[in-house]
Structure 1
């Protein structure tokens, strides 16, 4: 595959979805062919699985059921959306991917990182992003942003207790330490314009390095 796969990660309310849209616009203005997508979701079947996973009424969902549903949605999303675009040589920007499962289900839910990683490597056939931007933010700030945003989807994860979201943040920070070359941190507590600019600089730098390698 000649395309590039870039993922956007972060806790609830970190602003990664808004930044992704802005980066897509910037890349398209420079002549890039860009597909933006999200997880869970990004294809017809995967979006239906998303509705099941994030339904606020499904509080009884077992942790392993949740992890398996995420992996199933991820597989279908790859087959229908991501892989075809990468095979065309296009750039794919994805709001969440495998790292989300590692931190939310592997750590915050307590299933275990290795267990969730193996499950997802099976689902993805080993595909990993070329670059991941992690938007780091204090969970209190992120959840406050959500409560102030009437237009944002209210999902089951938003209802978790604050300590759950702190475990998510710590798990992301641990992933960054293990894979600092792929996962690059963005300070999401800055203004939106500053966050977009920092993300843009990191992506431009990555694309330039990739072009030199080719």
Structure 2
């Protein structure tokens, strides 16, 4: 087997609310662990105590409107801390890192959704994680209405989940644009299919990119 430390693995899961990223993460973890790998599962925003505090700030429903630029900077502040304190160390130890959301979510939500500059997002990404990027991104794709219906069955809606259908349509189109731009890294998984089919598709993608 190749020395894990020489080939760091960083996989991200993306998608709308209700896409099934948590379930997909469990599939990815099981696939790697069945091959003797050590897996670290984490999430964004969050992953460290400080980043989790920023997550709570970002998702809280409040009377004061949050400016899109404020939202963007808080996202990257949480990400910089997460990368420095959790993701980089885990990769240096040869672990497989699986993260629920990363900068592609920022491109889709704050870029396509909020209309912020993609160039600015890319500049902030360079500051926060210049040499730390996923080599595989699994996009769990669902229609907006279905994703929100699934999300509504959970806890009370957070600030993002209270956004309009038009906002989430822009976000979904943002993910679609990313998949078109980077087909080698960004793989679409039809999350409307039965769970067994979703798992089979994820495992096929992992076998194609990480099988030995």
Which residue does the alignment assign to 2:121?
A: 116
Which residue does the alignment assign to 1:196?
A: 199
Q: 68-77 vs 12-21, which deviates more?
A: 12-21
3-state SS of the aligned residue for 1:157?
coil
Which residue does the alignment assign to 1:7?
A: 12
* 1:171 aligns to 2:174 (yes or no): yes
3-state SS of the aligned residue for 1:12?
coil
Q: Structure 1: 5+ residue runs without aligned partners?
A: none
* 1:41 aligns to 2:41 (yes or no): no
Distance in 1, Cα, partners of 2:99 & 2:18: 16
* 1:52 aligns to 2:40 (yes or no): no
- Decide whether aligned partners of structure 1 residues 86 and 66 sit closer, same or farther in structure 2, where only a CA change above 3 A counts: same
Distance in 2, Cα, partners of 1:194 & 1:25: 16
Q: Structure 2: 5+ residue runs without aligned partners?
A: 1-5
Q: CA offsets per residue over residues 123-178 of structure 1, 9 Å max, x none?
A: 11242101101111100000011112x3x573211000000000000011011111
Which residue does the alignment assign to 1:130?
A: 135
Instruction: Tell me how many residue pairs correspond in the alignment.
Output: 207
Distance in 1, Cα, partners of 2:80 & 2:156: 23
Which residue does the alignment assign to 2:209?
A: 206
Contact 1:59/1:156, CA 8 A, preserved across alignment: no
- Decide whether aligned partners of structure 1 residues 18 and 100 sit closer, same or farther in structure 2, where only a CA change above 3 A counts: same
Q: TM-score, normalised by structure 1?
A: 0.92
Q: CA RMSD in A?
A: 1.4
Distance in 2, Cα, partners of 1:185 & 1:175: 10
